[in-house]
Amino acid sequence: MDFAWGVRNLRRHPLRSALSIAGIAVAAAMLLDMVLLSGGIERSFERLLLGRGFQVRMSPKGTLPFDTEASFPGVAATVAALRRDPDVATAGGVLGGALFARGPDSLVTLVGYGIDPTAQALYQLVSGRDLAPADTSGILLSAPAAQAVRAAVGDTLRVLGRLDPQIATAAIERRLVVRGTVRWLYDYRGQRSVGVVLPVMQRLTYQAEGDRASAIVVKIRDGVSVPAAAERLRARFPGLEVNSVAQLVDQVRHRLVYFRQLAYILGSISLLVTVLLVGTLLTITVNERLGEIATLRAIGVSRTRVVQQVLAEGLALTLIGGGLGVVLGIGTAHYLDGILTSFPGLPAAISFFVPERTSLTRAGIVLLLTGALAGLYPAWLAARAPIAATLRAEAT
């Protein structure tokens, strides 16, 4: 196809071509954004869960990890049994709960995590050092928590647990040294989170009931089927809810099905707009140039050549508009992602618009084919134009 011929022909009517290219760019941007949105949050959530390599989560029956404040007892025995399992590389308990710290002026409310430093899936160290398994006097802070309590690495923090809100008195208080600052993977923006070893968290949040956890994270050995291992663990621990990452992602997919439906609808609309714009412009162009086309046919240019030239013009129009649409779509996706991820309760690491080479390549091919196919009707008009009658009409 003669793309240069198609571009030259578009330059004959610059304003009309510019408006059509702008419309195609908007449609292409919408298509790109909908492709990114259709499965973006699922892929983002899956990457987040697998960020530390733990493929299975175990939680109280009927719940998802940290979906409620429920916990279960006997975590030490359960973790020990899991670590003896030949399919399990490692496992560790996690306990979440509310803690308080004495700040410069008042008590600061914190989200506390009790973790096993040898098998943790919740954070990445930013500064300082990590906790040791037996470090019962250390604490890790998120950046918002450190700012709220005005503490840095090496400072001592007074942490309170089991606070009575009516009399503002805590049942237990511990002095903990800040070992490091971390980025908690599942925190929402600005969340004040702290981490201590699991026994300390159990002591801070429970009085008579010890050895409890909100969840257990499990890493399956390389080469072992994760779904099969999860199914076996489910049968072995019937009192716990056992979910693989794939199952958790599937549950997220069902909860957010409306995003996928919206993406399909708007993506289809963008393709329809592209067809209408390209088809309308080419039809007008062919009707204006029937005399030129008849002349070319009269001097020996084949119908195939004429059809190729019309399709080349449609493809050139789509390529230019699509290229501009990619730039517009990336900017729009970044802006919309900032709005959606600011919703309360969403982890800051979650993204709604996730680019992937396969999906983007597929969207680009679909857009180009749509632009080319939109030129079929105008090309058919050009190919069937009667040579003698058209030349006679042009002469008169």
| Interval 226-253: pLDDT, tens | 989 999 999 999 989 898 888 777 777 7
Judgement on whether residues 96 and 218 belong to the same structural domain of the protein: yes
Domain boundary residue, one of 204, 238, 272: 238
Tell me, what's the pLDDT at 342? 76
Judgement on whether residues 220 and 266 belong to the same structural domain of the protein: no
Split at pLDDT 50, 70, 90, the class of 350 is: confident
> Has residue 244 been placed in a domain?
no
Residue 7 lies in domain: 3-48+255-395
Average pLDDT over residues 68-73: 80
Judgement on whether residues 193 and 306 belong to the same structural domain of the protein: no
Tell me, what's the pLDDT at 25? 84
Q: Which residues contact 227 (CB under 8 A, 6 or more apart)?
A: 244, 246
Tell me, what's the pLDDT at 1? 47
Grouping H, G, I as helix, E, B as strand and the rest as coil, residue 187 is coil
Split at pLDDT 50, 70, 90, the class of 168 is: low
Judgement on whether residues 82 and 119 belong to the same structural domain of the protein: yes
Judgement on whether residues 289 and 317 belong to the same structural domain of the protein: yes
Judgement on whether residues 99 and 185 belong to the same structural domain of the protein: yes
> Has residue 32 been placed in a domain?
yes
> First-to-last CA distance in the chain?
33
Tell me, what's the pLDDT at 311? 76
Give the sign of the dihedral formed by CA 228, CA 231, CA 235, CA 238. Answer: positive
Split at pLDDT 50, 70, 90, the class of 170 is: low
Judgement on whether residues 219 and 261 belong to the same structural domain of the protein: no
> Has residue 24 been placed in a domain?
yes
Tell me, what's the pLDDT at 68? 66
Report the percentage of the chain scoring pLDDT > 70.
Answer: 83
The answer to whether 26 and 327 are in contact (CB under 8 A) is: no
Split at pLDDT 50, 70, 90, the class of 142 is: very high
Q: In whole angstroms, what is the distance from residue 138 CA to residue 376 CA?
A: 71
Judgement on whether residues 383 and 278 belong to the same structural domain of the protein: yes
Domain boundary residue, one of 208, 238, 268: 238
> Has residue 165 been placed in a domain?
yes
Domain boundary residue, one of 186, 211, 238: 238
Classify strands 156-164 and 169-184 as parallel, antiparallel or unpaired.
Answer: antiparallel
The tally of domains found in the chain comes to: 2
Q: 151: exposed, middle or buried (C-beta count within 10 Å: 0-12, 13-18, 19+)? A: buried
Judgement on whether residues 309 and 378 belong to the same structural domain of the protein: yes
Confidence check: pLDDT of 371 > 60: yes
| 313-334 tens-digit pLDDT | 777 777 888 888 888 888 888 8
pTM above 0.75, yes or no: no
Judgement on whether residues 108 and 225 belong to the same structural domain of the protein: yes
Q: Which residue, chain included where needed, has tokens 């511990």?
A: 174
Q: In whole angstroms, what is the distance from residue 124 CA to residue 396 CA?
A: 80
Which one has a higher pLDDT value, 291 or 262? 262
Judgement on whether residues 231 and 274 belong to the same structural domain of the protein: no
Judgement on whether residues 268 and 349 belong to the same structural domain of the protein: yes
